[in-house]
Amino acid sequence: MSTRRPTCGLLVSSAGGAERIREGFVEPAIAAGWAVAVTASPTAAHWLGQFGELDRLTEVTGYPVRVQPRIPGESSPHPPVDVYAVIPASANTVAKLALGIADNQLLTTACEAIGGQEVPVVVFPRVNAAHARQPMWNQHLAALRDAGVRLVYGEHVWPLHEPRSAPGKDLPWTALVQAVNDAYMRRPDFS
């Protein structure tokens, strides 16, 4: 029997809350028994760097934060992943995932996981009411659900507000860690 801790491949895009991902998600997930390997979109990596979080995330997780693809033949700096979690997912990231657009390392990783159907994928769309009224929004969510993505979305999790009018509050960190736990516990046995 393996004693390896399950690994969450945390994919951080540039949406509100990204700057608090370490204390909000990573540290609680590690305390709950997870290993966490972070990949960030280029903009999220810039934000994390501005807040001094890139080095902190590497220190806390024991893995470098990935932003760029590996060169051919280079081994992955991250361990095998048991669950991917896109937290927070910007509206742009959600749309690109639904369409299969993989134009950065975060999207490439997530699109491969969605298409591979072997590792559960959890997505938390961190959007506002204007994003949700975009004519294609519901189709994007439906496409992700149809592909087996577990969306953490809805008024019960994150009520939508108009742009720049949301009350200052933390993301639903506890619910997000729980969603990753649930996805791991409900995954099919592919062995």
pLDDT of residue 190: 40
Asked, for residue 84, whether it belongs to a domain, the answer is yes
Q: Is the dihedral of CA 109, 111, 112, 116 positive or negative?
A: positive
CB atoms within 10 A of CB 67: 21
Asked, for residue 5, whether it belongs to a domain, the answer is no
Asked, for residue 4, whether it belongs to a domain, the answer is no
CA–CA dist 136, 178 (Å, integer) = 29
Q: Residue 37's Cα: distance from chain center in Å? A: 11
Tens digits of per-residue pLDDT, 31-52? Answer: 999 999 999 999 999 999 999 9
Q: Residue 40's Cα: distance from chain center in Å? A: 9
pTM attached to this predicted model: 0.95
Give the domain extent around 65. Answer: 10-70+77-163+170-185
- Into how many domains does the chain fold? 1
The answer to whether the beta carbons of residues 38 and 61 sit under 8 Å apart is: yes
Give burial (CB, 10 Å; 0-12/13-18/19+) of 39: buried
Tens digits of per-residue pLDDT, 53-87? Answer: 999 999 999 999 999 999 999 999 999 999 999 99
pLDDT of residue 2 exceeding 60: no
Place of tokens 């700096």: 77
Q: What CATH number is given to the structural domain containing 29?
A: 3.40.50.1950
Asked, for residue 158, whether it belongs to a domain, the answer is yes
3-state class (DSSP) for residue 96: helix
Tens digits of per-residue pLDDT, 102-128? Answer: 999 999 999 999 999 899 999 999 999
pLDDT of residue 92 exceeding 90: yes
